[in-house]
Amino acid sequence: MSVRALMNGRYELEHAPVPGGAMGQVWFGRDTRLDREVAVKFIRFPDDGRDEVLVRRFHRESRVMARLEHPGVPAAYDWGEDGDRPFLVMQRVRGITVHDLVSEQVTLPIGWAAAIGAQVCAVLSAAHAAKLVHRDLKPANLMVEPSGTVKVLDFGLSVAPTLADFSKITHSGQSPGTPAYMAPEQLLDGKEPGPASDLYALGCTLHEMVSGERPFTGPTSYHLMNQHVRDNPPALRELCPEVPARLERLVLDLLAKRPEDRPASAEVVYERLLPFVRNLGTLAGVLNPPSQPSPIRMYAGVLSRVFADAPPDVPPRHRPAIHIPNGEPTGGGATDDGDNPESRSRLADMWFDRGDYPNAARAYADIATELDTSEDADRLLYCGKREATCYSRVGDGHRALRRLEQLLRDFLPVLERGDTRIAQLQREIGLLQLSTGQRREARRTFAGLSRDH
């Protein structure tokens, strides 16, 4: 490997930079002091002249990355200047970007698209909790490592609109994102991007991973931005009939034009993606084979068992032992009676009748993930409403309301207008809105119910 001379007396860089990077230039290299591989990002000045605004912005990026500690974000190691060129030293990430993965495979399996999206949600949850908005989320900024973990790259455009010490620094002539993945509010003058803008970009990315196509593909940047602001995205099931209806609904929710119409948070999107994270087979040429030991997967395997057998918010000692007919006594796995849906439904009902609402909620939720909205409508409605009732019985009316609202979104495209099941759902949503103090929303719900039925 050919290298440049030592930079800053410490970092030995490869001979050529990594291709790409509109605002910065990345070099791979080695930290000679600590003997580890690194990635070094230099600021890219226009016309080769130093720009103090960009220097301050680059310095802010370093502080942003140092502030955000998460396994899904490359670690920031160092910051300094080489001559008059500021640089940021980061953890080197090996893998393949989702952009390249989709280019090679055209579409990704549903399970893997959901797994990548769910990991991104975990990173966004940490970023948004730290009052940071990425605002340039896209497939090219997502790296899948050989262990299957996902790294979210390039927080260089991130903003922290509510933190005075991390205020946004703009530069004339620079786009605050990538048009193909930018939310309408980012494209409209005077609209500050927020966490919902990142969720919109995630919706664009999920759409592309599952269908192989971006939701909007205008011939010019102007047409593309106009589509994001004015046009409805194509429904995934029109492009890929095998896509589950609830995943299509989630993507459409993420691509809502108004930020307030999108899911409430990255955590909500994570919960809605998680049921689809299954059947994660090998991605050829991307993942290490299962036979190869993976310390990362070993570590994650242990963490996945933390609280796995405990119902939400209930200490294990409070969980009753339930005797399953023709089986062994158990303390609470929702699927301990095998994969027979009828047996699992009876078990969920048993927990419900005994007042073990956390276990019952988990069981009803597990059953619902395997049901089809059109083929198992009555059963899915039953499980979903029972799950919501469980949340309400333990005092979590807001979570119960979210579950019923999700049910309504799932069934509106499936059931005919005027179906009494829709009316019943709307009535129950209105009552929950009243009980949780949302009087204005309840008034709208009941007004719509009166108008439609």
Sorted by where each starts, the structural domains of the chain and their CATH numbers stand as 11-91 (3.30.200.20), 96-168+177-276 (1.10.510.10), 307-452 (1.25.40.10)
Positions marked catalytic = 136
Token readout for 20 is: 């790409």
Do residues 240 and 107 touch, judged by C-beta distance below 8 A?
A: yes
What's the one-letter identity of residue 234? Answer: P
For residue 330, give the 3-state DSSP assignment.
Answer: strand
Tokens of 149: 């973990």
Residue that is written with structure tokens 């019923």 in the block: 404
- Answer whether 154's CB lies under 8 Å from 113's CB: no
User: Which tokens belong to 175?
Assistant: 């786009």
Residue in 308, 275, 61, 74 with CA at minimum distance from that of residue 160: 61
In the block, tokens 């620079």 appear at 174
- Helix extents (H) in 292-355: 295-303, 341-353
Closest CA to 388 of 413, 408, 417: 408
pLDDT in tens, 329-375: 333 343 343 455 677 788 888 888 878 888 888 888 888 888 877 77
pLDDT at 322: 32
Contact of 177 with 159, CB cutoff 8 Å: no
Rounded-to-integer distance, Cα 125 and Cα 122, Å? 5
Tell me, rounded to whole angstroms, the distance of Cα 56 from its chain centroid. Answer: 30
Question: To which H or E segment does residue 39 belong?
Answer: strand 36-43
| Positive/negative CA dihedral, 260, 262, 125, 365 | positive
Q: What is the pLDDT of residue 173?
A: 43
State the 10-residue block means of pLDDT for the chain, 453 residues long: 68 82 78 93 76 80 79 90 86 94 93 96 92 90 94 72 45 63 84 89 97 91 90 91 92 94 92 90 84 85 73 42 34 42 79 83 85 81 91 85 90 78 88 85 84 68
Q: Which of 286, 262, 368 is nearest to 108 (CA)?
A: 286
Cα distance between residue 414 and residue 417, in whole Å = 9
Residue 122, classified by CB atoms within 10 Å of its CB into exposed (0-12), middle (13-18) or buried (19+), is: middle
The residue behind tokens 């301990």 is: 336
Of the CA atoms within 13 Å of residue 308, those in its CB half-sphere come to 8
Q: Report whether 409 contacts 253 (CB < 8 A).
A: yes
Strand order of the sheet with strand 150-152? 96-97, 142-144, 150-152
C-beta pairs of 270-276 under 8 Å, 24+ apart in sequence: 270/118, 270/121, 270/122, 270/125, 272/246, 272/406, 273/114, 273/117, 273/118, 273/121, 274/114, 274/118, 275/246, 275/369, 276/110, 276/111, 276/113, 276/114, 276/244, 276/247
Cβ within 8 Å of residue 303, ≥6 positions away: none
